[in-house]
Amino acid sequence: MYFGLYAPNRGAVATKLKDPRWSVQDKDGMFSFPTTSPLHPLFLGQRNKAPTDQPEHFAHQNSATRLSALWVRDSPSLRQVLKGLRVPLTPTSACGVLGVKRVIRASLPEGDLYLLPSATETVVAARVEVRSISEVEAVLKANGFPENQ
């Protein structure tokens, strides 16, 4: 599973990722890593807005508004890249995923990335913000998910 980080300033990101140990690839407006790199699941880029995008394309039936946190597998390489990008890394105990007690929080301008030391999957969990929990419940029910008891 892959995950991307929004990089509004391409020039600044390109400068910070020049370290040869990361073998950053700059292709189609996106920074990525070779398949042999432990950083391969990560990519950085701009938001893709097609000229044909209409407001209804972003109006989600479940009232989702944004992805505001992601829990991912920690690695020394990922931490090095985040430090190189000057992303603040803070040890925290507020996790709640998989019963992990200590994680590293990478504070990004539009959300947080939580680095899980014992995760086996690249992406473990995500926090999606919604406008209405009742709309989420209605979508889940309509798609066959059982109601909470």
Q: Report the pLDDT value the prediction gives residue 98, as an integer from 0 to 100.
A: 65
Give the amino acid at 115: L
Res. 10: pLDDT tops 60: yes
pLDDT in tens, 61-107: 888 888 889 999 999 999 999 998 899 999 987 666 667 778 899 99
pTM value is: 0.77
Written as six digits, the tokens of 127 are: 């926090």
Q: How many other CB atoms sit within 10 Å of the CB of residue 113?
A: 20
State how far the Cα of 129 lies from the Cα of 134, in Å rounded to an integer.
13
Question: What is the rounded average pLDDT of the residues 16-36?
Answer: 86
